[in-house]
Amino acid sequence: MSIIVTDKGFATDDWTGPFRDATQSIANDCGFAVDLASDTDPATLARLTNAPMIRIDFPSFADGRGFTLAAMLRRAGYRGRLRARGHVIADQYAMARRSGFDEVEIDEAMAARQPQDQWLARADWQQGHYQARLRG
C-alpha cells in the first residue's frame, strides 16, 4: 500500500482513476493519470498538460531527473496534480515541492524508515529558500 506525503503529513491515496504509461497513445485531453519514467523525453511533455494527474517515477534517490521534468511541466502550464513516486527521501521533500510536485508517494517500508515527523520537518518548503530571499 502506498502512502501519500503532503504538507499536512501522511495520508492514504485518494486517486481512484487508472494510470497509463506515457508511451501509450495519449491525447492531451485524457481522463486518466499518466505515469512518466525519469528518462522521459522532455519534448513529449506538451501533450500531457491536460491530464488530471501525472506521476513521475524516481528509481533512485540519487536520480534528480524527475525534479527537472516536474519544473518543465509547470513551466509548460500544467495545473493538474503532480506526484513524485518511488525513492524520494524526506530530505528531498522541499526540493520536490519547489520543483512543482504537489505530493510524494512512498511505500510502507520508506514510511517506517522515515516517519511522518521527518517529512513534516521539511513541510515549510518555502522557508529558507535562498532564491525567494533574493527576489525579496
Q: Which of 64, 134, 52, 129 is nearest to 98 (CA)?
A: 129
Q: Which of 18-32, 33-47, 50-64, 110-124 has the lowest mean pLDDT?
A: 18-32
Mean pLDDT along residues 119-134: 71
- Determine the CATH number of domain 2-135: 3.40.50
Given a cut of 60, whether residue 105 has pLDDT beyond it is yes
Give the pLDDT score at 130: 58
In single-letter form, the type of residue at position 94 comes to: A
* Cα 120 to chain centroid, rounded: 16
What are the CA-CA distances from residue 68 to residues 6, 15, 23, 71 (Å)?
Answer: 20, 24, 19, 5
d(CA 46, CA 89) in angstroms, rounded, equals: 28
Given a cut of 70, whether residue 24 has pLDDT beyond it is no
Give the pLDDT score at 46: 81
| pLDDT (tens digit per residue) in 30-43 | 678 899 999 998 88
**What's the residue count for the chain?**
136
Cell of 102: 504537489
Cell of 51: 491530464
Indicate the pTM of the whole model: 0.87
Q: What percent of the chain has pLDDT over 70?
A: 85
